[in-house]
Chains A and B, each alone.
Chain A
Amino acid sequence: MESAVVSGLQGLVLGITHLGPGHVLMLAIGSTLLYLGIKKGYEPLLLVPIGFGAILVNIPLAGMMAEDGFLRFFYDVGVRTEVFPLLIFLGIGAMTDFQPLLENPKIILLGAAGQFGIFLTLLLALAVGFDKLDAVAVSIIGACDGPTAIYVSSKFAPHLLGAVSVAAYSYMSLVPLIQPPIMRLLTTDKERQIVMGSLKQPVSKTTKILFPIVVTIFASILAPKGAPLIGTVMLGNLMKESGVVDRLKNASENEITNIVTLLLGLCIGATMEADRFLQKQTLLVLGLGFIAISLDTVVGVLFGKLMCALTGGKINPLIGAAGISAFPMAARVAQIQGQRYNKKNYLLMHAMSANAGGQIGSVIAAAVMLSVLQGMGIVGG
């Protein structure tokens, strides 16, 4: 009897005896993510489940990510198969209004320029010692798009998924702080004051319905490896614009997105085990992620300046910074910066066009990258 009590008591203190400094630090990091999400309002829908997942997975002996662990099940079913980010894309498509882009299609090019940070960061990641596929996973933070970053990193570097996802979502929420100094540095007072004419090019319903179909067929044929990404976004948008499947559209943008966001966040947190997360590599990923989003802004604004010059000063280069996927945050930043220098300047709709272009651009950039990698034989067919 006495030995049974002692054994039982030992079981109760096993968790404490196995608690290492790494666990404690990760519990603190998980709590910090919860604090940022709850108190500061930084991407709470993601940071709350990620932070809680990070706490759960760092409880010693809880076995959350063991072979039969609670979180391992969802990780294997939704993240390893890449199904979760794709379902999120379905919801994004159902929520996105591409009307500003359809009204002003040439602005879509800013959405391409806003992705250049991905490819420039790839070179930096290789320079600091990441291997090829790890560098691809790190550089995709430059897409400034959480689901794209999760899709690519879970495919090529699942061991970096936690760091890449946390970096992507953290920097996305910091866009209003990261972008303005770069925008001011690269533009002149005169450029920032350029007033752009109003958009008066209404779009027919047929065009809105055909747009997602045309994009899916054309872009997927050019970059077949990206067909799941492009296809799910555009299916969501088709459901929205067709107006005949409201139940499916509503389910995509509400129930499906909410359930998947919760499970995806928990799974990302579950990849943040102390021995895997507390490495020099994680700091490098965070640093390169910051550089990637800064480079997106730099190239976007420079391309905006080029378009400004080519159109005889009709385009305000500030909207170039909105050519990233952080929607509609980046567009609001461009609007605020424009009004700071000219109170009568309303750049919002133009910046929204660039921002919608950035949303498509991030998916296309990832699709192009995957197809180039396939063509080079780096990834399987």
Chain B
Amino acid sequence: MDIWTFGLTVALLGMGGTMLVLWVLSLLILLLKKIFPYQAAAAETKKG
């Protein structure tokens, strides 16, 4: 494999892959927040 095929492949898959993984992570965070929402009352009770 010549260096340009190598370089362009790694660059494109790397940038695309990083963006894709982080985008899916952001969706997973939103999902977690939806399933386990913050409950102010519970937090206050714990503090008290």
Is the beta-carbon distance between A119 and B14 smaller than 8 angstroms? Answer: yes
For B7, give its contact among A122, A203, A360 (CB under 8 Å). Answer: A122
Whether a CB of chain A sits under 8 angstroms from the CB of B22 is yes
For window 1-48 of B, CB contacts with A under 8 Å fall at: 1, 3-4, 6-15, 17-19, 21-30, 32-33, 36-40, 43
Least Cβ–Cβ distance between B34 and chain A, in angstroms: 10
Chain B residues positioned under 8 Å from A178 (CB to CB): none
Is the beta-carbon distance between B21 and A376 smaller than 8 angstroms? Answer: no
For B25, give its contact among A132, A219, A368 (CB under 8 Å). Answer: A219
Chain B residues positioned under 8 Å from A215 (CB to CB): 25, 28
Interface residue SS majority, chain A: helix
For A372, give its contact among B13, B25, B29, B33 (CB under 8 Å). Answer: B13
- CB-CB nearest in chain A for B13: A372
Interface residue SS majority, chain B: helix
Is the beta-carbon distance between A372 and B36 smaller than 8 angstroms? Answer: no
* A219-B25, A378-B6 as given contacts; A115 in contact with B11, CB under 8 Å: no
For A204, give its contact among B26, B27, B39 (CB under 8 Å). Answer: B39
Whether a CB of chain B sits under 8 angstroms from the CB of A116 is yes
Interface size for A (C-beta < 8 A) is: 47
* A203-B38, A204-B39, A214-B32 as given contacts; A364 in contact with B10, CB under 8 Å: no
For B1, give its contact among A136, A214, A360, A376 (CB under 8 Å). Answer: A376
For A214, give its contact among B8, B9, B28 (CB under 8 Å). Answer: B28
Whether a CB of chain B sits under 8 angstroms from the CB of A90 is no
Interface centre among B11, B12, B29, B40, by most chain A C-beta atoms within 10 angstroms, is: B29
Binding site for A on B (CB under 8 A): 1, 3-4, 6-15, 17-19, 21-30, 32-33, 36-40, 43
Binding site for B on A (CB under 8 A): 101-102, 105-106, 108-109, 111-113, 115-116, 118-120, 122-123, 126, 131-132, 135-136, 201-204, 206-207, 210-211, 214-215, 218-219, 222-223, 357, 360-361, 364-365, 368-369, 371-373, 376, 378
